[in-house]
Amino acid sequence: MERVELRTVEELMAALRACRGVWDTPDRSGDPVDLHDHALQTAALLRRGHPSDKELQVAGLVHDLGLLLCPGDDAGHADRAADAVRGLLGERVARLVRLHVPAKRYLSAVEPGRGLSAQSALTLGAQGGPMEPHEVAAFEADPHAEDAVTLRQADDAGKVVGLDAGILEDWRPVLELVAAGIRSTAAYSS
């Protein structure tokens, strides 16, 4: 499968716009909101809980783009989205996006009774199931683990039919800000 890279905020905005009417399962048997509304709800929840952490918010906004880029790839969609945004939004955002599936496997191990959507419970098996104890220990040692769990909790909550979570265009300046920070860091270190 060809690797997709979103090189500009405009390309990323176009991909997010394209999520309207696209579902996590092509036959619409999965979660009840489309990928566009899910992205906005997840990002809005993170903005409410972590208003100063723009990178965490945009990670929430883009975390499921892999399902747009390769429909039905439940096991690989997090890595796919991380690869697509790494150059534009930076290593931390990519890492948080990549960890949103391991964070689900982690939470399923440490909080086995917590509610997942029926679709998330279904795909958990394809993603490796709940973590084994040695995987839990390795995950907890990751410096991004706590933020990845925060993203995952917003991800699981951001699936409410009919909830107005704002408009995509409002995220453009936030994406520009994060992308500009990454460009200046790259320029400084080169």
What token pair was written down for 184?
Answer: 């200046």
**67 closest CA partner among 108, 109, 21:** 21
Question: Smallest distance from the beta carbon of 28 to Fe ion, in angstroms?
Answer: 16
Q: Is residue 51 left, alpha or beta, with left meaning phi > 0 and alpha meaning psi from -120 to 50?
A: alpha
> Which is nearer to Fe ion, 64 or 74 (by Cβ)?
64
Cβ neighbours of residue 162 under 8 Å, at least 6 residues apart? none
Question: Smallest distance from the beta carbon of 162 to Fe ion, in angstroms?
Answer: 18
What token pair was written down for 16?
Answer: 């997010």
> Which is nearer to Fe ion, 6 or 35 (by Cβ)?
35
> Which is nearer to Fe ion, 55 or 64 (by Cβ)?
64
> Which is nearer to Fe ion, 133 or 162 (by Cβ)?
162
Between CA 139 and CA 130 the distance in angstroms is 12
Between CA 126 and CA 188 the distance in angstroms is 41
> Which is nearer to Fe ion, 64 or 147 (by Cβ)?
64
Question: Smallest distance from the beta carbon of 64 to Fe ion, in angstroms?
Answer: 4
Between CA 33 and CA 30 the distance in angstroms is 9
User: Which residues here bind Fe ion, judged by CB under 5 A?
Assistant: 64, 155
- Contact call for residues 69 and 83 (beta carbons, < 8 A): no
